[in-house]
Amino acid sequence: MGLMTGKQGVIFGVANDHSLAWHIAERLHREGAALAFAHLPGEKMERRVRMLAEPIGAKVIHPCDVTKDADVEAFFARVREAFDKIDFLVHAVAFASRDSLTNRFWQTGREDFRQAMDISAYSLIALCQKAFHLFNENASVLTLTYLGAVKFMPGYNVMGVCKAALESTVRYLAADLGDLRRVRVNAISAGPVRTLSSAGISGFDKVLTHYPTKSPLHRNITPEEVGNTGLYLCSDLSSGVTGEVHYLDAGYNIVGW
């Protein structure tokens, strides 16, 4: 019997086998969880997710653009057909336009700001609204954030502002969902890992080589560690933890020089 046997939940944010969401999903699956996957609408996106999710017996693979209320509603209606209740929801979704990641921060345009906030921060609220009646008591909501939320990180730009909003959203959702349904809401603040999204951050390679020079553990984190920490926060192992931003960064965030 695995730690997640009898548990079921949904995963947003698998683009390929490097995605942090995939490492969490794969770990949850190994512990016996049943999974539903969302992917951006489009044949190519569906194929990419299907290739990974079908071999691990995914119960649902369904399109969902998190900026579209109708998509989110249709996705959870499909989930409801497969699962009566859910025990976890993983939100590993973020986007900022190329302009807003390559120009200087002060040049961020209004529409680029709005879009980045909508996809990267508001979407967590939208997903919780539509999943609300599906949550089991003690269900766990997990999102992914980065140190750029609380410190200036070169090139992170508008995404830092989105992550600050996301971390605050975690606290406010934790208070409401804890009160109303005893649902927990937490975030992993992950150190840098090479993925499709991180490739869009200018100077990302420099960040990857910089972390081992400063972090107490003298290394970067591994994708497997994201899976393990995801398992902890999605499972009953963390039953007393909510509203938390949990650093998984080989200790980089504690260093002040």
96/93 Cα distance (integer angstroms): 11
**What part of residues 133-162 is at the interface with ligand NAP (CB under 6 A)?**
144-146
108/56 Cα distance (integer angstroms): 41
Indicate whether 101 belongs to the interface with ligand NAP (CB under 6 A).
no
Stretch that binds ligand NAP, among 24-32, 76-84, 89-97, 102-110 (CB under 6 A): 89-97
Tell me if residue 172 is catalytic: no
Please select the residue that binds ligand NAP; options are 30, 67, 181, 202, rule is CB under 6 A: 67
Q: How far is the CB of 82 from ligand NAP (least distance, A)?
A: 19
Tell me if residue 247 is catalytic: no
Please select the residue that binds ligand NAP; options are 34, 94, 116, 142, rule is CB under 6 A: 94
Q: Name the β-bridge partners of 61.
A: 37
Indicate whether 20 belongs to the interface with ligand NAP (CB under 6 A).
yes
74/207 Cα distance (integer angstroms): 39
From the list 156, 211, 232, 247, the catalytic residue is 156
Please select the residue that binds ligand NAP; options are 8, 136, 157, 195, rule is CB under 6 A: 195
Indicate whether 249 belongs to the interface with ligand NAP (CB under 6 A).
no
Active site residues: 146, 156
What are the residues binding ligand NAP (CB under 6 A)? 13-15, 19-21, 40, 45, 65-67, 92-95, 119, 144-146, 190, 192-193, 195-198
